[in-house]
């Protein structure tokens, strides 16, 4: 969620909300970035932007090109990675950075 008042007002509201029901506790994180599913949402002085979220434990590893997988598997990895980058990047610059990341990941995996 976004909030236009002070950070203390937000913390007070959330702490108050935690007292409304004994079995429901809210956890919160106040930050400029939010990772949700496969998107990173960033607030830069009121301007929201999106980019691709990369799980630290999973990437940049993909199926090595020298494996015995069918060739269409490798084409699909490239295609879906670029589609994901295009859909989740809010600016051309962010998309271009992601495209370079994809290229380097593929080179890394042979």
Whether 46 contacts 4, CB under 8 Å: no
Q: Is the pLDDT of residue 79 over 70?
A: yes
In terms of domains, do 55 and 16 share one?
A: no
In terms of domains, do 26 and 56 share one?
A: no
Give pLDDT tens digits for 37-65: 999 999 888 899 999 998 887 766 677 77
In terms of domains, do 52 and 89 share one?
A: yes
* pLDDT for residue 29: 81
Could you give phi then psi for residue 74, rounded to 5 degrees? -70, -40
Structural domain harbouring 65: 33-108
In terms of domains, do 24 and 77 share one?
A: no
In terms of domains, do 79 and 48 share one?
A: yes
In terms of domains, do 1 and 43 share one?
A: no
Could you give phi then psi for residue 40, rounded to 5 degrees? -110, 120
Whether 44 contacts 58, CB under 8 Å: no
Whether 35 contacts 81, CB under 8 Å: no
Give pLDDT tens digits for 28-40: 888 889 898 999 9
In terms of domains, do 26 and 39 share one?
A: no
The total number of structural domains in the chain stands at 2
Q: pTM here?
A: 0.70
Sign of the dihedral defined by the CA atoms of residues 18, 38, 42, 46, in that order: negative
In terms of domains, do 37 and 24 share one?
A: no
The pair of structure tokens assigned to 58 is 């999973």
């Amino acid at each position: 969620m976004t909030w236009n008042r002070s950070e203390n007002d937000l913390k007070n509201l959330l702490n108050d909300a935690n007292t409304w029901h004994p079995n429901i506790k809210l956890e919160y994180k106040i930050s400029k970035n939010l990772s949700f599913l496969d998107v990173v949402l960033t607030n830069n002085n009121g301007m929201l932007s999106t980019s691709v979220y990369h799980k630290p434990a999973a990437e940049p590893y993909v199926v090595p090109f020298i494996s015995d997988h069918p060739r269409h598997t490798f084409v699909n990895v490239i295609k879906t990675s670029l589609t994901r980058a295009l859909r989740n990047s809010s600016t051309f610059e962010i998309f271009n950075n992601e495209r370079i990341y994809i290229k380097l990941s593929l080179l890394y995996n042979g």
